[in-house]
């Protein structure tokens, strides 16, 4: 598969996630070392900064899980008054960051985002 083909699949996968949950503020796929691969945001969010922070958070989460013997990290979240960011592990090669408003249906979000992370892991 060509790099262009992968990029198109990654972007289409994010658009499918955003289409299934239009209330999301954005979604991003990053490499494990913090480089943005694909992104879809509703505003002028800096994808490079989000990718770097998502990869850093995922790395820290993995270290916490390792230290506590909690097994492989699958996902983590950061919550604020106006919304939440969910970071899902995309295999060993990446991270999926999903930015959601406060009050989002968490069951639906996790179902959709976990499926998206599995699809992305097959592509990466």
Which structural domains are found in the chain, ordered by start? 3-123 (3.30.450.30)
CA pair distance 83, 77, nearest whole angstrom: 11
**Tens place of pLDDT per residue across the chain (124 aa):** 555 688 899 999 999 999 999 999 999 999 999 999 999 998 889 999 999 999 999 999 999 999 999 998 899 999 999 999 999 999 888 999 999 999 999 999 999 999 999 999 999 8
E strand intervals along the chain: 26-31, 36-41, 75-80, 83-90, 94-101
């Amino acid at each position: 598969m060509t790099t262009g083909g992968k990029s198109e699949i990654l972007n289409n996968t994010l658009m499918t996630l955003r289409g299934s949950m239009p209330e999301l503020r954005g979604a991003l796929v990053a490499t494990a070392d913090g480089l943005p691969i694909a992104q879809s945001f509703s505003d002028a969010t800096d994808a490079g900064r989000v990718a770097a922070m998502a990869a850093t958070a995922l790395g820290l989460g993995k270290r916490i899980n390792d230290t506590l013997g909690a097994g492989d990290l699958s996902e983590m979240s950061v919550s604020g008054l106006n919304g939440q960011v969910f970071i899902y592990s995309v295999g060993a090669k990446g991270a999926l960051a999903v930015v959601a408003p406060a009050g989002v249906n968490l069951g639906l979000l996790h179902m959709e985002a976990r499926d998206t992370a599995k699809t992305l892991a097959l592509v990466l």
